Structure 1
Amino acid sequence: MDKSIKNKSIFKKFLAIILAFGPGIFAIGYTIGTGSVTSMIVAGSTYGMQLLWVLLISCLFSGLLMYVYGNYALITGETALYAFKRHIKGGHILAILIIIGISFGQWNSLMGILGISANIIYEIFAIYFPNVVGYKYETVLIVAIVVIATMYAFLMVGKYTFFEKILVIFVTIMGLSFIVSLFMVYPLPMEVVQGLVPSIPKVEGGQMMVAAFVGTTMAAATFLSRPLFVQGKGWTIKNRGQQKRDAITAAILVFIISGSVMAVASGALFHQGLPVTEVLDMVNTLEPIAGKFALTLFFFGTLSAGLSSIFPCLLIAPILLADYQSGELDTNSRQFRIITAIACLFALIVPVFGANPIEMQIVSQVFNVFVLPIVIIGIMLLINNKGIMKGHKTNILINIGLLAAFFFSCLMSYNGVVALFDYF
């Protein structure tokens, strides 16, 4: 066989595998945005691999919750908040609190994500067009407006399959960029092993970083939106095995990609005593250590992470509201267009006021942990109701795992409250 034909066939197979990825691609898009990347970079550069254990536990529970929520949708045909409202006493109040809590957290994240993405594009422009250096604020703001307007235009296409394909492209670029960077800059193996032993950095901001890790990796939005994305994919009860594999694969990829980001920051910056607090810090500190190629790859990955997160963050409020109202998402409705337009304007707050997007991003991730206990207890009540589950009994190991996730989320919520009081 001709070598070029063989290479084409390998590339086609690789592309087919990526495009065959299910709703898990939205889980990766939600989870690994610039919020996650920022948290991993700041943690890796400040604490080394010390918080790897938090990432591992969060990914384990995240995979379990994705599976459980997806499985519930396939068995009952219902979405999450609609089921809360219908089957749980006082569930409509619970659902409204969840909508407000998650939308607040995600829209706050959106501000930081857009700010970081616009700053990264500005830094790339500054390398090739030095004249823009004196016009940082104006350039960042214009870039932010162009990016958010483009994303809004994509949303107006209004089809699940289109959203999925756009996310597949961004997530693939992001994942490959970070994993390749890891081969160029990496921590010591012993540091990785020590990072799996639970400990909280005894320094200012340590508790907030732990809460931010959980808020970004074990994001309630990921689980609540899964039933709607499972429906959008057209999966039925026959796809239970596929749904399980999709959830496991998504959780593993989140751990590998996020862990790679933390490891690159730890290997390149931690031992140099160069913690990251500004977007520009990433350029100044990574380039002399990692080289231009690794820096470009890392920046390209971070930018892709930002763009892949803007999409799901804009979608979350209309998704949750549609879920609560009817259990069905109409992306062509007037409600969908108005809410996403408001979210776009909200996203411009950080670029307009010129705030530090990295600090804003970490603080916003902490808010995400407070909804988690409600989201976990809600699904536990649903999946253990024999009438709703149509004779499908929930495995005892699943219940033990969910109980452990509930206690972990309560601990992290308490930790988040303490961290926010210290911050403000």
Structure 2
Amino acid sequence: MWEKFKTIGPGMLVAGAFVGTGTITTSIVAGTENGYTFLWASVTAAIVISIILQEMTARLSMSTGKPLAVLVKERLGIWASIIVILAIVGGNSVYSVGNLSGVNIALGGLFEGIPASVWIIGVTFIYWSLLMIGKYNILEKIITILVALMGILFLINMFYVQPDYVEVVKGLIIPTLEIDKITLVIALIGTTVVPYNFYLHSTAVLERGWHKNAKTNLGMMRFDTIVPIFIGGIITMSIGVVAGTVLYPLHLSNGLVIEGSNEMAMTIEPLLGKNAYALFSLGLFAAAISSMPMAALSAAYVFTQSFGLNPDMKGNAFRLVFSFVAWVPVFFAVGIENPIWTIILAQSINGMLLPITAILVLYLINKKDTSGSLRNNLVSNILGYVAVGFTIILGLINIISTFQ
């Protein structure tokens, strides 16, 4: 068992990508305004859907020895690739607007009086420069440690605040849905089941070489997929439970609304006291900046792989795309007046775009000439169709409710 843990890699990349600003903010807002009511969406549904679809994506790449973006181009044609590129580049740009809003919330509160544009442009320039020179790994290790520590902090805090565990379990297993909360519910799922993670995961699995002996490595891939995503789900749950325990009563009694890091930091105040605000802001900043490079890089991988271009980080096309996804969001983020709602909306848009890639994965994994003996069985198909159908239905409800 310990040997399996030592080989975990691609799955940790997936979990690390979704435990970011979006997850922290949406989970805290959901817990503050609704208690434990939407834990079924943020934890149960999101984690199950993520595991089902990420496993299919990894299995698809293992069976073919090719990344997902290449398979879409080869099997479905250039127009399918163009749709994917537009969805990923557009979705990742929106996602980055949300992350930049997180930077604004975190640093703007710590250093009052300094314009948001300074932080947004400064942070973007730093991570973009490190990507350009290929040295982002230096910063990534520090950020990963900070995000992990914040996750552990919330996990400890969940037990410290002593929630009503019976109500927590009810929130996890009993789905409830109100039409006026549909955007929040989609955001809770979209922040975990991130569309660009499918493309990152497929590339990471190939880099591990698991496709060279696919059937033998199938068990390792599944372990690698399930365990990190499950751990990410536990962290997400702890954030929602703490918010539901600490802030929901204040919402009911005093009308507390999450407007920035001041309110969000109250979730860890029982454990850290007066140090809560500074430490929360630091953690939120780390979570924000950890996700932005992944969004930029994944868009560049999808673009270059789809058109048969050089997927190297120093390639001109690769740099052009990740620079686009890095800098275009800056122009939108600097003028945002409600960063909390922007973060939630960004996650919701990604949730709306999720079915595009999910449908393609489900189609390709069922083609015998593509997946061979690793194609879906009956159980996998039932789980896959339910997962995809669920996201489509939520998206349709959201669209219909918008025009009513």
TM-score normalised by L of structure 1:
0.84
1:95 CA displacement = 2.4
In 1, Cα distance between the equivalents of 2:383 and 2:342? 32
Residue in structure 2 matching 1:27, options 1, 11, 14: 14
Gaps of 5+ in 1: 1-13, 126-132
Aligned to 2:250: 272
2:193 pairs with 1:218: yes
1:332 CA displacement = 1.2
1:271 CA displacement = 0.8
1:210 CA displacement = 0.9
Aligned CA distance change for structure 1 residues 343 and 397 (closer, same or farther; 3 Å): same
Listed as ranges, the matches of 1:234-273 within 5 Å are: 234-238=209-213, 239-273=217-251
Q: Deviations over 1:287-311 (max 9, x none)?
A: 7655234545444432222122112
2:209 pairs with 1:227: no
2:186 pairs with 1:208: no
1:234 CA displacement = 4.0
Residue in structure 2 matching 1:119, options 90, 98, 105: 105
- AA aligned to 2:21 is T
Listed as ranges, the matches of 1:264-413 within 5 Å are: 264-273=242-251, 274-282=255-263, 285-286=266-267, 291-326=273-308, 329-413=311-395
Other structure's SS at 2:250 match = coil
In 1, Cα distance between the equivalents of 2:121 and 2:136? 24
Q: Say if 2:186 and 2:352, in contact at 8 Å, map to a contact too.
A: no
Q: Say if 1:174 and 1:304, in contact at 8 Å, map to a contact too.
A: no
Aligned CA distance change for structure 1 residues 94 and 275 (closer, same or farther; 3 Å): farther
- AA aligned to 1:223 is F
Q: Say if 1:177 and 1:301, in contact at 8 Å, map to a contact too.
A: no
1:17 CA displacement = 9.5
Gaps of 5+ in 2: none
- The two structures, once aligned, show a CA RMSD in angstroms of 2.8
Q: Deviations over 1:355-391 (max 9, x none)?
A: 2211111112221123322322222222222222244
Q: Deviations over 1:155-174 (max 9, x none)?
A: 12448977975664354233
TM-score normalised by L of structure 2:
0.88
Residue in structure 2 matching 1:84, options 61, 72, 89: 72
Q: Say if 1:369 and 1:416, in contact at 8 Å, map to a contact too.
A: no
2:81 pairs with 1:95: yes
In 1, Cα distance between the equivalents of 2:362 and 2:81? 15
Aligned CA distance change for structure 1 residues 174 and 288 (closer, same or farther; 3 Å): closer
1:411 CA displacement = 1.0
- AA aligned to 2:198 is F
Q: Deviations over 1:26-72 (max 9, x none)?
A: 21233122112111011000001101111211211101111111111
In 2, Cα distance between the equivalents of 1:26 and 1:171? 13
- The aligned length equals 394
Larger mean CA deviation between 171-180 and 404-413 belongs to 171-180
Aligned CA distance change for structure 1 residues 178 and 284 (closer, same or farther; 3 Å): closer
- AA aligned to 2:149 is I
Determine what percentage of the aligned residue pairs are the same residue: 27
